[in-house]
Chains A and B, each alone.
Chain A
Amino acid sequence: MIAILHYALLKGTRDKSTVIFLLTPITMVVASLIGVVVASGHPSFPLYYSLDWTPAQNASQVAFISTMCTVCFASLSGFWMFRSEVATRAIGSFVLAKRPIVIILAMIVHSSAIAVLSWIPAIAAARVLTGAAPPDTVRLTLAVIVISIASSAMGAMFVMISAQPQMLIGAYCGSCFFLPFLVLESNRPKVMMLAVVTAVLSTTIATFLLERRCTT
Chain B
Amino acid sequence: MTEHAIVADSLLKRYGRVTALRDASFAVKKGTITGFIGRNGAGKTTTLKIVSTLLDADDGTCHVLGDDVRRNEYSIRGRLGFLPDSFELPSTLTLREYLGIFTELYPIARGDRKRRIDTTLQLTRTEELADRRLHALSRGEVQRVGLARALIHNPEVLILDEPAAGLDPHARVELKELLRLLRERGKTIFLSSHVLADLEEICDELVVIKKGTVIFSGDIAGFRRQMRSTTRWRLSAVSRAISLPSGLRGEVVESGPTSIEFEGDLTAAERARWIADLVARGIDVCEVTPLRSTLEQEFAKAVEEEEEMEAAS
A residues contacting B by CB (< 8 A) are 2-4, 6-7, 10-11, 14-15, 84-85, 88-90, 92-99, 214-215
| Minimum C-beta distance from A1 to chain B (A) | 10
- Tell whether B162 is near chain A: CB-to-CB under 8 Å: no
Shortest Cβ gap from B47 to chain A (Å)? 13
Chain A residues near B53 (CB-CB < 8 A): 96
> Is B25 an interface position by the 8 A CB rule?
no
Closest CB-CB distance, A200 to chain B, in whole Å?
A: 22
Interface of A is mostly: helix
Convert B150-169 into 0s and 1s, putting 1 for each residue whose CB lies closer than 8 angstroms to a CB of A: 00010000000000000000
Interface pair A215/B49, CB less than 8 Å apart:
yes
Q: Roughly how many angstroms separate A209 CA and B88 CA in the complex, as a whole number?
A: 20
Question: Which of B101-109, B203-211, B219-227, B257-265 is the contact stretch?
Answer: B101-109
Q: Does B84 contact A (CB under 8 A)?
A: yes
Within 8 Å CB of A99, what residues of B?
74
Interchain CB contact under 8 A, A11 and B90 = yes
Chain A positions within 8 Å of B104 at CB level: 2-3, 6
Question: Is B44 part of the contact surface with A, judged by Cβ < 8 Å?
Answer: no
Partner of A96 from the list B52, B55, B92, B93 (CB cut-off 8 Å) is B52
Complex CA distance for A10 and B101, rounded to whole angstroms: 10
CA distance A94 to B105 in the complex (A): 8
A65 to B269, CA, bound (A): 95
B101 touches A96 (CB 8 A): no
Q: List the A side residues contacting B101 at CB < 8 Å.
A: 3, 6-7, 10
One of A3, A15, A214 near B54 (C-beta < 8 A): A214
A-B contact pairs, 15 of them (CB 8 A): A3-B107, A10-B101, A11-B90, A14-B92, A90-B87, A90-B90, A95-B54, A96-B52, A96-B53, A96-B54, A96-B77, A96-B80, A214-B54, A215-B49, A215-B54
What is the bound-complex CA distance between A92 and B87, given in angstroms? 9
CB-CB < 8 A to A98: which residues of B?
Answer: 105
**In the complex, chain B residues whose CB is within 8 Å of the CB of A215:** 49, 54-56
**In the assembled complex, B26 has its CB within 8 A of some CB on chain A:** no
Take A6-B101, A14-B93 as given contacts and tell me if A92 and B54 are in contact as well, using a CB distance cutoff of 8 Å.
Answer: yes
Q: How large is the interface on B (under 10, 10 to 19, 20 to 34, 35 or more residues)?
A: 20 to 34
With both beta carbons as reference points, the residue of chain A lying nearest to B87 in the complex is identified as A90
Interface flag for B284 (CB, 8 Å): no
Considering the chains assembled together, what is the distance between the CA atoms of A97 and B101 in angstroms? 11
- Nearest CB of chain A from residue B62's CB, rounded to whole Å: 14
Q: How far is the CB of A146 from chain B (nearest CB, A)?
A: 29
Which of B74, B87, B92, B149 is in CB contact (< 8 Å) with A89? B87
Report if B241 contacts A (CB, 8 A): no
Q: Are B88's CB and A92's CB within 8 A?
A: no
Neighbouring B residues of A6 by C-beta, 8 Å: 101, 104
With contacts A3-B105, A94-B105 known, is A88 near B88, CB below 8 A? yes
Complex Cα–Cα for A7 and B54 (A): 22
User: With A and B bound together, what is the CA distance between A6 and B97 in angstroms?
Assistant: 10
Known contacts A10-B97, A14-B93; decide if A97 and B105 are in contact (CB<8 Å).
yes
Q: Which residues of A contact B149 (CB under 8 A)?
A: 93
Question: Does any Cβ of A come within 8 Å of B303's Cβ?
Answer: no
Output the nearest chain A residue to B56 by Cβ-Cβ distance.
A215
B215 at the interface (CB under 8 A from A): no
A88: chain B residues at CB < 8 Å are 87-88
> CB within 8 A of A10: which of B52, B87, B93?
B93
B36 within 8 A of A: no
Residues of chain A within 8 A (CB-CB) of B89 are 90
Residues on A with beta carbons closer than 8 Å to the beta carbon of B90 = 7, 11, 84-85, 90
Chain A residues, Cβ within 8 Å of B77: 96-97
List, in ascending order, chain A residues with CB within 8 A of B92's CB.
10-11, 14-15
Does B82 touch A at the CB level, under 8 Å?
yes
A11-B93, A89-B87 are known contacts; what are 20 more A-B pairs with Cβ within 8 Å? A2-B104, A3-B102, A3-B104, A3-B105, A3-B107, A6-B104, A10-B92, A11-B92, A90-B87, A90-B89, A93-B82, A93-B87, A93-B102, A93-B149, A94-B105, A96-B52, A96-B54, A97-B102, A99-B74, A215-B55
Q: Which residue of chain B has the shortest Cβ distance to A88 in the bound complex?
A: B88
> Closest CB-CB distance, A94 to chain B, in whole Å?
7
Chain B residues with CB under 8 A of A3 = 101-102, 104-105, 107
Q: What CA separation (Å) do A178 and B136 show in the bound complex? A: 43
Q: How far is the CB of A58 from chain B (nearest CB, A)?
A: 40
Chain A residues whose CB sits within 8 angstroms of the CB of B86 once the complex forms: 89
A2 to B100, CA, bound (A): 12
Q: Could you tell me the distance between the alpha carbons of A2 and B74 in the complex, rounded to whole angstroms?
A: 19
Segment 95-152 of B: residues with Cβ below 8 Å from A:
97, 101-102, 104-107, 149
Q: How far is the CB of A199 from chain B (nearest CB, A)?
A: 24
Q: How far is the CA of A11 from the CA of B74 in the complex (A)?
A: 26
How far in angstroms is the closest Cβ of chain A from B97? Answer: 6
